[in-house]
């Protein structure tokens, strides 16, 4: 995607000639560099011709890839100014930093919250894909994860604002302020589970971060209150990332996850940091980066041994199992699933579980186990665990119930029980039509693909027609 032309980019044309790179050659180099970052780019010689002759400006990280490609041929660094792209939108780097200092971490997070809300309020609804499409890169998680593993908790985070500062900044934050943010996160989690990440109420999370949380982070607080405040904002930020992930806005989700991990470090909340890493792992696996998903899940586990509750550790093991299944490592998946089940059996009602793990019980373990065996190609196990997952009422967890029905439909179809497959599929489509979740729609698309061999059956054709109506509905 490019913005409006600004006139011929003579600097880029001149440097291409100097480097002796053809339009097709530059396009190929840019696509290859993008692939190394986990991006799928499809530029060709016509694209480059537009950049040069019409001054079209490529979006996302592409200007940097162009500079890298030309610099590689010239054997020296090439700044963006030299190729006429020095004034491109800095948004691609927004939210990707994992600052070492707490003050810089506050600035990085609040900048992200501000820009995201501006995008949402802008023309056309402000979806992140308008300006950051295709910029998701699993490699962007490398530095945040390594820094978190080395130092999962900051030193003192106490903050004192001089009296001469503004009245708002001079406000002294108390535990009640942090508690209100945690209550907001808990309420938002309920809405997300029931209505999907794209529900209009989801916009309340970035609104809360910008309007409520940001001023508090810039105010005065003790170390103890600061830890609670950073923990609450980390929860909200992770949730904003999860909602973006659910609506298919992976670029925004990645940035929110990175900032959530940094805030969790400031909170000295290692289990919460692990939860963020588990969310990153699920996203990486969903995007097809299985090995990186394994690494992220194992990072969550290693730092939390002896710290997190049994229920929390069970969930982290389960996330690793999902990643191992994506990587087609059946033995490692079985080991992780066994560890998840054993840890969950050790969980007790009186354990000091964090509020954000309240969704996790055996039905969730069974549902994810079913998806593991789906990825490993073991249909009998998929049916077994899906039936166990659906045996418990899922009041309040509408989206999860719909996803389980989709997996059930696919498993029954593969087992040859078309009646059961259609019945589960019909219920899944009904749920998908009631919530705003791109992920749910993508699951339905995969279900239809699995049902293609049965299109000769009228009941399957009817289900397909109903499902397509849901798929094309706005997310």
Check residue 456 and give its pLDDT: 93
Do the strands 57-58 and 2-3 form a parallel or antiparallel pair, or are they unpaired? antiparallel
Check residue 32 and give its pLDDT: 84
Check residue 58 and give its pLDDT: 83
Instruction: Give 426-467 pLDDT, tens digit per residue.
Output: 999 999 999 889 899 999 999 999 999 999 999 999 999 999
Domain residue limits, the chain? 2-89, 377-475
Write out the two tokens for 175: 């535990």
Q: Which residue has the higher pLDDT, 7 or 285?
A: 285
Burial tier of 395 (Cβ tally within 10 Å: 0-12, 13-18, 19+)? exposed
What angle do the packed helices 62-74 and 23-36 form, to 10 degrees?
A: 110
Instruction: Give 235-284 pLDDT, tens digit per residue.
Output: 999 999 999 999 888 888 999 999 999 999 999 999 999 999 999 999 99
**N-to-C CA span, the chain:** 21
Question: Is there a contact between 354 and 335 (Cβ–Cβ < 8 Å)?
Answer: no
Check residue 284 and give its pLDDT: 96
pLDDT of 1 over the 50 cut: no
Calculate mean pLDDT across residues 347-371. 96
pLDDT of 167 over the 60 cut: no
Check residue 40 and give its pLDDT: 72
Calculate mean pLDDT across residues 119-145. 65
Cα–Cα distance for residue pair 222/225, rounded to 1 Å: 5
Check residue 168 and give its pLDDT: 52
pLDDT band at 203 (very low <50, low <70, confident <90, very high): low
Check residue 401 and give its pLDDT: 93
Check residue 448 and give its pLDDT: 93
Share of residues in the chain with pLDDT > 90 (%): 67
Instruction: Give 98-116 pLDDT, tens digit per residue.
Output: 999 999 999 999 999 987 7
Check residue 39 and give its pLDDT: 64
Calculate mean pLDDT across residues 178-185. 96
pLDDT of 124 over the 50 cut: no
Q: ∠114-116-117 over CA atoms, to 5°?
A: 70
Check residue 162 and give its pLDDT: 79
| CATH class belonging to 2-89 | mainly alpha
Question: Is there a contact between 225 and 195 (Cβ–Cβ < 8 Å)?
Answer: no
Cα–Cα distance for residue pair 456/446, rounded to 1 Å: 18
Cα–Cα distance for residue pair 222/344, rounded to 1 Å: 36
Instruction: Give 315-344 pLDDT, tens digit per residue.
Output: 999 999 999 999 999 999 999 999 999 999
SS3 per residue for the chain? CEECCCCCCHHHHHHHHHHCCCHHHHHHHHHHHHHHCCCCCCCCHHHHHHHHHHCCEECCCHHHHHHHHHHHHHCCCCCHHHHCCCCCCCHHHCCCCCCCCHHHHHHHHHHHHHHHHHHHHCHHHCCCHHHHCCCCCHHHHHHHHHHHHHCCCCCCCCECCCCCCCCCCCCECCHHHHHHHHHHHHHHHHHHHHHCCCCHHHHHHHHHHHHHHHHHHCCEECHHHHHHHHHHHHHHHHHHHHHHHHCCCHHHHHHHHHHHHHHHHHCCCHHHHHHHHHHHHHHHHHCCCHHHHHHHHHHHHHHHCCCCCHHHHHHHHHHHHHHHHHCCCHHHHHHHHHHHHHHHHHCCCCCCCCHHHCCCCHHHHHHHHHHHHHHHCCHHHHHHHHHHHHCCCCCCCHHHHHHHHHHHHHHHHHHCCHHHHHHHHHHHHHHHCCCCCHHHHHHHHHHHHHHHHHCCCHHHHHHHHHHHHHHCCCC
Share of residues in the chain with pLDDT > 70 (%): 88
Instruction: Give 31-88 pLDDT, tens digit per residue.
Output: 888 776 556 788 999 999 999 998 888 876 788 789 888 988 887 878 888 898 876 6
Calculate mean pLDDT across residues 363-374. 97
Instruction: Average the pLDDT over each of 43-52, 302-311, 369-378 and give the range with the smallest value.
Output: 43-52
Question: Is there a contact between 126 and 135 (Cβ–Cβ < 8 Å)?
Answer: no
Give the sign of the dihedral formed by CA 43, CA 45, CA 48, CA 50: negative
pLDDT band at 123 (very low <50, low <70, confident <90, very high): very low
Cα–Cα distance for residue pair 255/104, rounded to 1 Å: 15
Which residues lie below 8 Å from residue 96, measured CB to CB, with a gap of 6+? 140, 254, 255, 258
Instruction: Give 281-295 pLDDT, tens digit per residue.
Output: 999 999 999 999 999
Check residue 156 and give its pLDDT: 95
pLDDT band at 169 (very low <50, low <70, confident <90, very high): low
Check residue 93 and give its pLDDT: 73
Question: Is there a contact between 106 and 218 (Cβ–Cβ < 8 Å)?
Answer: yes
């Amino acid at each position: 995607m490019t913005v409006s032309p600004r006139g011929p980019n003579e600097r880029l044309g001149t440097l291409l000639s100097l480097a002796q790179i053809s339009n097709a050659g530059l396009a190929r180099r840019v696509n290859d560099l993008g692939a190394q970052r986990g991006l799928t780019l499809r530029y060709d010689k016509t694209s480059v011709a537009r950049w040069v002759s019409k001054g079209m400006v490529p979006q996302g990280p592409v200007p940097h890839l162009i500079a890298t490609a030309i610099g590689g041929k010239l054997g020296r660094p090439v700044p963006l100014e030299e190729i006429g792209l020095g004034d491109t939108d800095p948004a691609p780097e927004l939210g990707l930093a994992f600052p070492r200092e707490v003050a810089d971490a506050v600035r990085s997070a609040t900048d992200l919250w501000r820009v995201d809300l501006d995008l949402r309020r802008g023309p056309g609804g402000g979806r992140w894909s308008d300006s950051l499409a295709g910029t998701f890169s699993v490699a962007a998680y490398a530095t945040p994860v390594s820094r978190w593993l080395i130092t999962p908790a900051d030193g003192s985070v106490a903050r004192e604002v001089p009296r001469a500062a503004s009245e708002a900044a001079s406000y002294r934050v108390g535990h009640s302020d942090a508690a209100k943010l945690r209550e907001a996160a808990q309420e938002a989690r309920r809405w997300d589970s029931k209505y999907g990440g794209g529900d209009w109420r989801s916009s309340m999370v970035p609104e809360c971060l910008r309007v409520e949380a940001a001023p508090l982070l810039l105010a005065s607080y003790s170390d103890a209150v600061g830890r609670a405040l950073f923990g609450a904002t980390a929860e909200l930020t992770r949730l904003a990332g999860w909602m973006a992930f659910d609506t298919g806005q992976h670029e925004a989700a990645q940035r929110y996850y990175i900032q959530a991990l940094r805030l969790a470090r400031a909170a000295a909340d290692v289990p919460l940091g692990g939860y963020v890493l588990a969310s990153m792992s699920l996203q990486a696996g969903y995007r097809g980066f299985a090995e990186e998903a394994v690494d992220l899940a194992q990072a969550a586990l290693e730092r939390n041994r002896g710290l997190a509750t049994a229920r929390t550790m069970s969930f982290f093991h389960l996330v690793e199992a999902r990643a191992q299944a994506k990587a087609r490592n059946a033995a490692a998946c079985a080991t992780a699933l066994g560890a998840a089940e054993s840890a969950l059996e050790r969980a007790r009602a009186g354990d000091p579980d964090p509020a954000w793990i309240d969704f996790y019980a055996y039905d969730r373990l069974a549902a994810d186990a079913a998806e593991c065996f789906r990825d490993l190609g073991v249909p009998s196990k998929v049916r077994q665990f899906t039936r166990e997952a659906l045996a418990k009422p899922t009041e309040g967890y509408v989206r999860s119930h719909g996803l389980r029905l989709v997996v059930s439909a696919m498993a029954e179809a593969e087992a040859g029980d078309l009646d059961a497959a259609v019945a589960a599929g019909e219920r899944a489509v009904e749920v998908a039509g009631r919530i705003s979740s791109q992920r749910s729609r993508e699951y339905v698309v995969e279900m239809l693909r699995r049902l293609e061999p049965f299109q000769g059956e009228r009941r399957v054709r009817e289900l397909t027609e109903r499902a397509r109506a849901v798929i094309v509905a706005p997310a």
